[in-house]
């Protein structure tokens, strides 16, 4: 069993956070709440104080330039990108919190979440592990060649879920619901669905007409989508097809 890393403590360690966007704001606040001495979030052209660790919360395309700007002897630089390979990035380690941040969050948003870590050296990997643990996250290693699949899964689970809910809002307009009302009414359904999926897996969580084999209802839904939001028909069709495949796994399960 891997021993728990020693926690980062104020005065023991100082971290500079570069990039004051959605993640950089939340991460700076969270690290401070965890008792870590933090410099930042720093913007473009701002120099980090005399710190041993710099965490880049900048867009992927800016990582190489930010590494060059902040590299110092004896300093470890980490990036927080899910997609960027550590070996190609110039950074020493990667630390990708598997969570979605809008910027106003603090330490609570990191509690118990997964945090993908990688390091060029054992020391850099240990730094990533210590930082993740200081945040209350659960570190797990991701190899560079696994990153595209890892990040695609994260995007489907989070980003595309939002796209899906936007489509549901749009179609709900066909039932006379405003976007705000649709969100308020659909949100409990989304939450329960996600909880059921997390607790029981996709096949058991699936309910609805396709799970019941009720293709007549699916056809009526499709006609309504065609009438109110025709541009969403390809999305509706591909989702219905994948849902049929999922439903079939329930039927064939022993
Ligand atoms: N948001 C999330 O939920 C989330 C979750 C996990 C991981 N991440 C990772 O976090 C990183 C940042 O994403 P984000 O969502 O926080 O992006 P964001 O909201 O767009 O923020 C990026 C910030 O970086 C600044 N910046 C750009 N280039 C810089 C440079 N060379 N030096 C200093 N600051 C610079 C930007 O400032 P300007 O306005 O001046 O361009 C902006 O404030 C990405 O690698 C992303 O994969 C994000």
| CATH of residue 221 | 1.10.1040
Q: How far apart are CA 120 and CA 89, in angstroms?
A: 11
Q: Is residue 9 scored above 70 in pLDDT?
A: no
Do 222 and 177 lie in one domain? The reply is yes
163 part of a folded domain? yes
For the Cβ of 147 lying below 6 angstroms from any atom of ligand 1, the answer is: no
Residue 27: Cβ within 10 Å count: 30
Condensed to tens digits (0 to 9), the pLDDT of residues 222-240 reads: 999 999 999 999 999 999 9
Which residues span the domain enclosing 126?
14-145
Condensed to tens digits (0 to 9), the pLDDT of residues 94-141 reads: 999 999 999 999 999 999 999 999 999 999 999 999 999 999 999 999
Residue finishing a domain among 111, 145, 179: 145
178 part of a folded domain? yes
For the Cβ of 16 lying below 6 angstroms from any atom of ligand 1, the answer is: no
Do 62 and 94 lie in one domain? The reply is yes
What is the model's pTM?
0.91
Q: Is residue 13 scored above 80 in pLDDT?
A: no
If pLDDT is split at 50, 70 and 90, which confidence band does 254 have? low
Do 138 and 18 lie in one domain? The reply is yes
For the Cβ of 20 lying below 6 angstroms from any atom of ligand 1, the answer is: yes
Encoded tokens for 151: 């990040």
Do 200 and 229 lie in one domain? The reply is yes
Report the share of the chain in percent with pLDDT over 90: 91
**For tokens 């005399």, what's the residue?**
50
Write b or e for each residue in 209-221: b if 16 or more Cβ atoms lie within 10 A of its Cβ, otherwise e.
bbbeeeeeebeee
Q: How far is the CA of 175 from the centre of ligand 1 (A)?
A: 39
Q: Is residue 209 scored above 80 in pLDDT?
A: yes
For the Cβ of 80 lying below 6 angstroms from any atom of ligand 1, the answer is: yes
For the Cβ of 21 lying below 6 angstroms from any atom of ligand 1, the answer is: yes
């Amino acid at each position: 069993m891997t021993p728990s890393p020693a926690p980062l403590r104020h005065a023991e360690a100082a971290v500079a956070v570069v990039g004051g966007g959605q993640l950089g704001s939340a991460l700076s606040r969270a690290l401070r709440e965890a008792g870590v001495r933090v410099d930042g979030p720093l913007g473009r052209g701002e120099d980090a104080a005399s710190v041993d660790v710099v965490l880049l919360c900048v867009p992927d395309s800016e990582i190489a330039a930010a590494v060059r700007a902040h590299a110092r002897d004896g300093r470890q630089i980490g990036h927080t990108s899910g997609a960027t390979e550590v070996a190609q990035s110039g950074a020493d380690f990667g630390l990708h919190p598997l969570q979605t941040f809008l910027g106003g969050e603090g330490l609570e948003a990191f509690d118990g979440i997964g945090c993908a870590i990688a390091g060029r050296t054992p020391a850099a990997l240990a730094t990533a592990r210590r930082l993740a643990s200081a945040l209350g996250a659960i570190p797990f290693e991701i190899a560079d060649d696994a990153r595209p699949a890892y990040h695609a899964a994260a995007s489907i689970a989070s980003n595309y879920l939002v796209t899906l809910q936007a489509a549901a809002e749009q179609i709900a307009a066909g039932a006379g619901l405003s976007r705000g009302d649709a969100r308020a009414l659909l949100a409990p359904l989304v939450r329960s669905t996600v909880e059921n999926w997390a607790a029981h897996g996709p096949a058991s969580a699936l309910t609805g007409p396709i799970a019941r084999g009720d293709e007549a209802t699916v056809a009526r839904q499709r006609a309504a989508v065609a009438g109110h939001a025709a541009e969403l028909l390809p999305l509706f069709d591909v989702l219905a097809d994948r849902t049929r495949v999922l439903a079939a796994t329930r039927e064939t399960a022993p």
